[in-house]
Structure 1
């Protein structure tokens, strides 16, 4: 089974899930335990998921931000590898979430596979899971540990050819609009202006001087919407140019600047 993910960290976790063999020793846990695993999975022998790490494809194009009429060259080899596997009639399984970058990636994937007869499966990350009477919520697959991926297999669904066509048409429309930003609004993926998330900045910045890295850190912690620090930094730059935010103390390192409301 070919696993397709839309973020580098989650793809790396999936590679570990498919390529790691766990075993126990009389003198202690395995090396995997020593690099930070909180616990060994119940199945202490064999791979966490069937297959090998070579079956994982990462399409981290970050399609929620910027020009989507051009493809980032970074992952073109992965895209070609996917096309080759499709020709070989292999089944693929997409792991996506409601995070804008991820659902954009899924729509893009559907636009690629719409004409293929290969079996296409998808697992959408649920909003939460209940484990041992504890509710665990997720924003994207990057928050899921390697040993936990197999617990989501029950959410697997087949993506029919009609569904692929539907999402492909939606992606074509978004490409034509080619707005600076795409966001999920009331469950729908829409083109939005680049100022869409600015209200989050206005909620956090005051007349009191603050380091930019501290402000962005607060934004990331408070608003877990899978928008990265680079986007906030870009918007702060624009707002400084518009004289809506003032630089109190400049620095060669943008994140070390001290800023406040103008």
Structure 2
């Protein structure tokens, strides 16, 4: 079985899930915990140690409850192409996708993002060729997706390729991430994408696997071709449907959070609030780029820049209008 995901985090987590829970739990490597107080005070050493013990115990329980998925890491392919943003007219990801990813990732500290994204796109093309060859030999494929725009775009994009490959009936399966679920304590949990699923949780979703009919593949392929024809700067999931939208589609959410702040505000805080509060399924770089556009429009000005080793949005801005 070939597994297809649409993000690096999901790819790494799913590979760990293949062996997660096998054998006795042994904590190895560094372990980090994060503690914060509303009043900004530093946590005591006792609080830190208690948090570490709680985290280790939680990890041990997750390990013991988990069911290893089995399989080989070579069977998992992750396509982290951020297809919800920018030009999608290319049949295969190429120079346009390199330029888009380079622009998106430029908000992070790195001397040469163009080289990094060139490697991402090149690997995606190589992996797609491998998947095509294995699919032609009769191997089954399982696609993991959610309502996150990038994962929904990935699904449509991949189905378009499957339609071109003429895969056999009964060869393709999908698993869609539930919009909400209840944990062992009865609490309602919402995950935006497969990248938020821990290695010890993947086994719970195998029962959601469904076979894909040829008509579904063709329908997705048709929709993707229509999105390619429209070729907007942004795509979003609206009422469960993947549609082309204006690049300003999420601006109201951003401006709403900024309006609640004083004359000067921390841009990183705004981005965090937008992502956590509205669960739009978008990444920090898109919010940061939209705020950058607002700065160019004269709505805000930079009061202090971010440190060299931090993303560009770790800075203070000031309202101008």
TM-score (norm 2): 0.74
Comparing both structures, which one devotes a greater share of its residues to strand?
Answer: 1
| Consecutive unaligned residues in structure 1, runs of 5 or more | none
Match of 1:141 among 187, 194, 214: 194
1:22/1:30 contact within 8 Å kept:
no
Post-superposition offset of 1:135: 2.4
Q: In 2, Cα distance between the equivalents of 1:43 and 1:201?
A: 40
Q: In 2, Cα distance between the equivalents of 1:40 and 1:256?
A: 34
Paired residue total: 256
TM-align CA RMSD: 2.2
Pair 1:221 & 2:273 matched: no
| Consecutive unaligned residues in structure 2, runs of 5 or more | 32-55, 98-120
Q: Which stretch shifts more, 249-258 or 193-202?
A: 249-258
Pair 1:211 & 2:260 matched: no
Match of 2:68 among 48, 61, 67: 48
1:33/1:40 contact within 8 Å kept:
no
Pair 1:39 & 2:61 matched: yes
Secondary structure at the aligned position of 1:255 is classed as coil
The equivalent of 2:302 in structure 1 is 247
Q: Which has the higher contact order (CA 8 A, sep 6+)?
A: 2
Structure 2 vs 1, CA of residues 32 and 18 (structure 1 numbering), >3 Å: closer, same or farther?
farther
Cα distance per residue 1:180-204 (max 9 Å; x no partner): 1000112211000101000011101
Pair 1:125 & 2:177 matched: yes
Post-superposition offset of 1:245: 2.2
The equivalent of 2:83 in structure 1 is 63
Secondary structure at the aligned position of 1:61 is classed as coil
1:38-187 equivalences in 2 (<5 Å): 38-42=60-64, 48-70=68-90, 71=93, 72=97, 73-74=121-122, 75-114=124-163, 115-117=166-168, 119-132=171-184, 133-187=186-240
The equivalent of 2:51 in structure 1 is none
Post-superposition offset of 1:38: 4.5
Q: In 2, Cα distance between the equivalents of 1:214 and 1:139?
A: 20
Post-superposition offset of 1:104: 0.5
Structure 2 vs 1, CA of residues 261 and 38 (structure 1 numbering), >3 Å: closer, same or farther?
farther
Pair 1:4 & 2:59 matched: no
TM-score (norm 1): 0.89
Q: Which stretch shifts more, 193-202 or 222-231?
A: 222-231
The equivalent of 1:201 in structure 2 is 254
Cα distance per residue 1:21-76 (max 9 Å; x no partner): 6212xxxx3246986635244467xx710311111010111111111123142422
